[in-house]
Every structure is written in structure tokens, then in C-alpha cells.
Amino acid sequence: MTLKSLMDNMLPAIETELQTAVTLLDEPYNRSFREMLTYHMGWSGEGANPEATGKRIRPLLMLLTCAACGAEWQRALPAAACIELIHNFSLAHDDIQDGSELRRGRLTVWKKWGMAQAINVGDALFILAHLVLLKTKATYLPELILEIGGIVDQACLALSTGQFLDISYEKRTDLTIDDYWRMVSGKTATLLSASTQVGALIGGADELSKENYKNFGHYLGSAFQVQDDYLGIWGNSALTGKSTESDLVAGKKTLPVLFGLAKNGLFAHRWAEGPIQAIEAGPLSEQLAGEGVKLLTQETADQMTDMAMLSLRAANPQGDPGNALFELANLLLTRRA
């Protein structure tokens, strides 16, 4: 059974689990509130379709990890729904914080219903994530629920800290590469490592194996983020004429920018002078490449990818789900557009 056929079974089960969670808001007077949540989840409203839900990477990683440890993947479904609700809570709040008007081509919740209700939508998703986990008493032992809750809430704290750092970095000019990793670790890597860690925990893995799965998630997230940063400057859409899409124009302090600033060359001097115009994005990305930053970024992404793959191999995932984990990691880490 390949990744594809496992996904064909898992993804509908994840959606069902998620939809059950949202029925906690099923009183008639909550109908509009529930609609905001189901819109955000990609199930209802304008533009609702399977792509609008996002890829459900985190729950998928959790189910595959659980199965690769030799347990039934169905056993991890409630925790998988929990982690995806957490992810969606953070997206709802991120969209407000970043002022993003679109997510996956659809209006964001705050753009559609206003900031006040969007804060509320995020809060409700966060609360539902916890209620879903608490409702697993029939499936999990109390100690297991508490252990999962501890991992998830520690990840949330890291998420919230990462978001704090990200926002505070906007005004800072003294950022180091360490600052970057601290932020990425919270914003991107933590929820992925919580996904694989909880999957291994529910799958009954031993301590060493859990640690390896946790590291796999961490490095997978880190590699993904560095690659995202790379594509944000040297990807196709960043380099086309419409280069408002370039992270350089957006002024984002991504890894290549921090590498470039550390070089203290022409790029750093131009950056210090103020906002980059769209027309400069192409030449400036070449300047950065000339200063060795393109290669350095690619090498960093490769390094993180290697660490992810080494950790996964060390975890020794079993059977078809194990193969599917390698396949999924490869898929996520070889985007080139």
C-alpha cells in the first residue's frame, strides 16, 4: 500500500473526526458561529472544496507514525483531529495578525466577518481541540490523554512564543541566525514534531523511538521552512514580473535575508536603505546569490532534510505506513516551484 492509498483511507476519516468536533456547536443559535468555523475549515461557503481544507499534513503525519509503530492508525484519530484544530486556530489568528486577506484563494475569516469574530473563531477552534482530546476517555487511558495534552499544550506555547518573536522581529534590525531558528522552531517545527511525537506515543513506541520521531517532525518542519524561504526569493513566482510575491518586497526577515545581512555586502547595504521595490526583486535576488547566500540557503535546507531523513530512519518505521512516511517527507521536501 503506497502513500496514495493510505491517504485515500485516512483523509476522509480525518475530515469526519474534525466535523464531529464542530458539532459541539450545534445549537440553532450557534448556526452562524459554526458556519464561520466550517468556512475556515474549508467545508462550507464560497470556494469550499477539498483543496480549501489544506493538506492536513499534521494529522496525516500522526496517523502514519502511529501505524508505522505497529498500531492501528484509527487509534490516533481523536488526537489527529486535536492537532489539526490547533493548527487551524493558529491560522485564524495569524491571518488577523498578519493582515492577510486571502488564504488558499479564499477570503480570510477576519476579512469576511470582521476581526472580533475572527478572534472568536480562533478561540473556539482552540477550545474544540481540547474538548476533542478530553472526549477520548473511551479510547485512551487517562494518563495517555494527559501526556498527549501536555505535548500539545507545550507545542501551543512554543507556537505562541514563535508568533510573538515573528511580530517583534518586524521592528528589529539586530537579528541573528539563532533568532531565526528560535522563531521557526516555534512557528513551524513544533506542531509537526508534536504530531509525530504523539503518533509514536499512541502507537506504543519506546522512548528512543519517540525521540527519533519527534526529531523527524522537528527537522521536517525546519527543512520545509528553509525551503519556503528559498522559494520566496528564488522560486518561480518570486522571480516573475509580478514580484510583489517576492519575500524581499514584503520585507520579510527570512533566512536568506539574515544570511545576506550577516555578509554585510551590497545586499545588506541596499536592505538598510529601506523597502525593496518590486522592480528590484530580480536583480537583488541575483546579488544575494552572488554573495553565496543562494547556495548557503540550499545547503541549509539540504542539511535539515538530511537530519529529518536520518531521524526517520533511526525511528525504524514499519511496513507500508513506514514507507509512506518516507514518501510523504520526500514529497514535502522536494518542492521546486
Contacting residues toward a second copy, per CB under 8 A: 24-25, 29-30, 32-33, 93, 96-98, 114-117, 119-120, 122-124, 126-128, 130-131, 134, 137, 142-143, 145-146, 149-150, 153-154, 156-157, 160-161, 163-165, 167-168, 179, 182
Q: Closest distance between a second copy and the C-beta of residue 275, in Å?
A: 20
Q: Closest distance between a second copy and the C-beta of residue 252, in Å?
A: 15
Which of 55, 98, 92 has its CA nearest to residue 195?
A: 55
CA distance 297 to 259: 8
Q: Which is nearer to a second copy, 179 or 302 (CB)?
A: 179
Q: Closest distance between a second copy and the C-beta of residue 175, in Å?
A: 11
Q: What angle do CA 54, 192, 22 make, to 5 degrees?
A: 50
Using CA atoms in the order 264, 268, 269, 273, what is the torsion angle rounded to 10 degrees? -150
Q: Which is nearer to a second copy, 115 or 279 (CB)?
A: 115
CB-based contact 84:56 (threshold 8 Å): yes
Q: Which is nearer to a second copy, 122 or 235 (CB)?
A: 122
- The cell numbers describing 10, all together, are 485516512
Query: How many CB atoms are located within 10 Å of the residue 289 CB?
Result: 18
CB-based contact 296:259 (threshold 8 Å): yes
Q: Which is nearer to a second copy, 187 or 214 (CB)?
A: 187
Q: Which is nearer to a second copy, 163 or 285 (CB)?
A: 163
Q: Closest distance between a second copy and the C-beta of residue 99, in Å?
A: 9
Q: Closest distance between a second copy and the C-beta of residue 91, in Å?
A: 13
Bridge partners of 106?
103
